[in-house]
Amino acid sequence: MVFQTGCVTVKNITVLGSGVMGHGIAQVSATAGYNVVLRDIKQEFLDKAMEKIKWSLDKMVTKEKISKEEGDAIYSRITPIVDLSEAVKDAEMIIEVVPEIMDLKKQVYAELDKVAKPEVVFASNTSTLPITEIANTTSRPEKFIGIHFFNPPQLMKLVEIIPGEKTSQEITDMTQEFVKSVNKQAVLCRKDVPGFIINRLFIPMVHEACYLKDRTNATLEEIDSAVKFKLGFPMGIFELADFTGMDVIHKATVEMHLRDKKVINPHSTVEKMFDEKKLGQKSGEGYYKYSDDKYERVELSEDLAQKCNPIQLVANILNNAAWLISNGASDIEEIEKACKLGLGLRKPLFETAKEIGIKNIVEELNKLAKEHGEFYKPDPLLESMI
């Protein structure tokens, strides 16, 4: 695979970091036909990642989604390399997928900047860290961009693209073309705002669901049933949190709250569960208990949904959506696309809002602001939509 936009040609990709996301992004890129180098700090990490890729490709062969020859060809397009200079020497684009720790990312980019050719594009898969701040530590902020794949990259269609303040239009266009070329759908987050689009909507909602539980005494299952059957989520919000992992949610919470107090009203439960290693499905216990590490569904029903009014949750997610629009980071169409592909929403967010009534939602936010503080103040856009 080769693609060209403007004067950028991409056929060789280096993926830095072979963990949960990195090995998936490498597989997806190789499946599209790119030559991929997968780089990690230890050979044993790379061996494990290559094993996982092999397993995933074999599964696709068994399911007859690809032929055995295709599987072998995809696998052979991925070269695991530990040495950094060697790993990036042919790359036109480097996708960085190292752990979500600002100091580590900056250190990685400092090393990378020295060894990668000046024309190479740097794309970070960060979920919550500021793109502009990382970009400005490199010699090429205009060639630096956020490319946020979702977990698991092999299955999730959505990729958020986040240009930093200095990212050139050419690189933004090129990244959109790249995302298309790997058979994904891009949503552009036009501003480098905390949480980008999906995490800005999803992570605060987990905290709000904890508050809803405290304030109404509804059970986990009642809230989750309401989220699933009344709001059109594919599963309950606590289920989704357990599936995502409390480590991911806690980390995202800390980063987002650090940069913007208005985006999230942290509930102590999230940090407590993280400290107690109740990480969700992966640890056997989160909001719910799981008997093994396979994906298990909780019993939710329309009857249980009738016992919970989720207006507080709708008010929260809609207020954050309105903030994204008011601040020029997105628009309704892009938000709906992101919610459908990234959160699996079966019903558009603003349709749910219309059913409930924007006026009722604004009233709810004003009531919450009175009782629980300014955090809940409705975005002016919502008020203007009444």
Catalytic residue numbers? 127, 148, 160, 199
- Residue 386 token pair: 């009444």
206: which residues sit within 8 A by CB, 6+ positions away? Answer: 237, 238, 240, 241, 249, 270
Query: How near is the Cβ of 256 to ligand NAD at its closest, in Å?
Result: 12
Give the nearest distance from C-beta 343 to ligand NAD in angstroms: 13
Residues 6+ apart with CB under 8 A from 120: 88, 91, 92, 93, 94, 140, 143
The angle at the Cα of 187, spanning 262 to 74, to the nearest 5 degrees, equals 130
- Residue 105 CB, shortest distance to ligand NAD, in Å, is 7
126 binds ligand NAD (CB under 6 A): yes
Q: Which of 45, 122, 196, 288 binds ligand NAD (CB under 6 A)?
A: 45
Under the criterion CB under 6 A, does residue 125 sit at the interface with ligand NAD?
Answer: yes
Taking CB under 6 A as the binding criterion, the range among 33-41, 67-75, 200-208, 328-336 that sits at the site for ligand NAD is: 33-41
Output 126 or 312, the one with its CB closest to ligand NAD: 126
> For the chain, what is the radius of gyration of the CA atoms?
21
- Tally helices (H) and strands (E) across the chain: 18, 10
Which secondary structure element, helix H or strand E, spans residue 159, and what is its range? Answer: strand 158-163
Residue nearest to ligand NAD (CB): 19
What CA–CA distance (Å, rounded) separates 282 from 107?
29
Q: Which residues contact 67 (CB under 8 A, 6 or more apart)?
A: 61
Nearest Cα neighbor of 263 from 376, 146, 381, 133 is 376
Among 12, 14, 18, 175, binds ligand NAD (CB under 6 A): 18
**Cis bond before residue 152 (omega within 30° of 0):** yes
Token pair listed for 208: 């709000």
The answer to the question of residue 344 lying near ligand NAD (CB under 6 A) is no
Question: Toward ligand NAD, which CB reaches closer, 97 or 263?
Answer: 97
Site size with ligand NAD, rule: CB under 6 A: 22
Binding mask 69-108 for ligand NAD (x = CB under 6 A): ----------------------------xxxx-------x
Window contacting ligand NAD (CB under 6 A); options: 15-23, 187-195, 231-239, 356-364: 15-23
Asked if 253 is part of the footprint of ligand NAD (rule: CB under 6 A), the reply reads no
| 369 belongs to the binding site for ligand NAD (CB under 6 A) | no
Report the interface residues with ligand NAD, using CB under 6 A. Answer: 16-22, 39-41, 45, 97-100, 108, 125-127, 150-151, 248
